Amino acid sequence: MKITKIRKNADGDITNVLTDEGIEMDVSKAVALAKLGQVDSVIVRKNKNGNDVIVSSSNSSLENNLDNLPTF
C-alpha cells in the first residue's frame, strides 16, 4: 500500500494518512505497518524526541515526499 494524502495538525505535523486503498489511519498505525514492510516508499526513523516516525525513503522523488503530498 502507498500513502497518497496526509492530514496535518496546527503545528504542521502529519497526524493521519490516506492510502491508495482508501484506508485512513493515524500515524502510529502507519508506523506499525511500515515496520512490517506493508507501506511502500517510506522508512521508519527516530525523531528528535526518540519517537518512531515515517519518512519518505531516500529513493523517493521530491513530489512523493510525505510533506508534499496533498491533504485531505
**pLDDT, tens digit, for every residue of 10-40?**
999 999 999 999 999 999 999 999 999 999 9
How many separate domains does the chain show? 1
Backbone angles phi, psi at 14, to 5 degrees: -70, 125
The percentage of the chain sitting over the pLDDT mark of 70, rounded to a whole number, equals: 90
Is 32 a member of any domain?
yes
Could you tell me the pLDDT band of residue 63, with boundaries at 50, 70 and 90?
low
* Range of lowest pLDDT (29-33, 35-39, 51-55, 63-67): 63-67
Contacts of residue 33, defined as CB under 8 A and 6 or more positions apart, other chains included, come to: 1, 25, 39
Is 26 a member of any domain?
yes
Distances, alpha carbon 34 to alpha carbons 9, 10, 11, in Å = 21, 25, 24
Is 11 a member of any domain?
yes
Which residues form the domain of 38? Answer: 3-64
Bridge partner residues of 42 (DSSP): 56
